[in-house]
Amino acid sequence: QPLSVRNKHGTWGQGDVCNMWYTTGRPPSVPHTPNIEFIKLQGKANHYVNNNFKYALEIPPEGGTITISNPFDEPRMLYLTYMTTSPPAMAFPTMKVMLGDTPGVVILPVNDLNQPGEQYAKTIAIGLIPPGLTTVGFEAQDFGTEKNFLLAGFGLFGNVENIPIEHHLETESALLDTTNGDNTTTTEA
């Protein structure tokens, strides 16, 4: 399909919310524990024309929480977007995700793109969240990995019949920026 058709904004039918700070540089508007930091990732310069950077919330090994608001009158499926690597490297820790007091899923942050050492964003369904505020907890299941868990965004979708349970956000690599200490960049649309 032509790019203009693929990028058309719309809804999945019953209303949705998408909060993706991965490409915007805008710090997420979700409350989170103080130990979670907004950081800048560095992509390969030839991959990005207008914006050479990607962004994520870095969740430390001790874990933390974010609070997500479901503004709809009905439950919505929560999808999380996070960074992954290809086997055999395990750069990011396996992460247990809880929805309030209810265990959600365990995320294994690997992909099947056969690009060892490269980092790619991946999106997965976590579980249904009710209307109102839901605390989403993160707990590392293994320690000593090269990097902390990186959360790049989330979505809430009502009609999930045509949405895959898991998919790759993009096929371009994003690497951590180690050139300077500037952890945040804010841009206005």
- Cα torsion for 4, 172, 175, 185, to the nearest 10°? 0
State the Cα–Cα distance between residues 152 and 112, nearest whole angstrom: 19
pLDDT of res. 113: 75
| pLDDT in single tens digits along all 189 residues of the chain | 343 443 444 454 667 788 888 877 788 889 999 999 999 886 553 344 445 578 899 999 999 999 999 999 999 999 999 988 877 767 889 999 999 988 778 998 888 777 666 788 888 889 999 999 999 999 999 877 888 999 999 999 886 655 555 544 444 444 443 333 333 322 222
Helix (H) or strand (E) segment spanning residue 85: strand 76-85
**pTM of the entire structure?**
0.76
- Bridge partners (DSSP) of residue 19 are 154
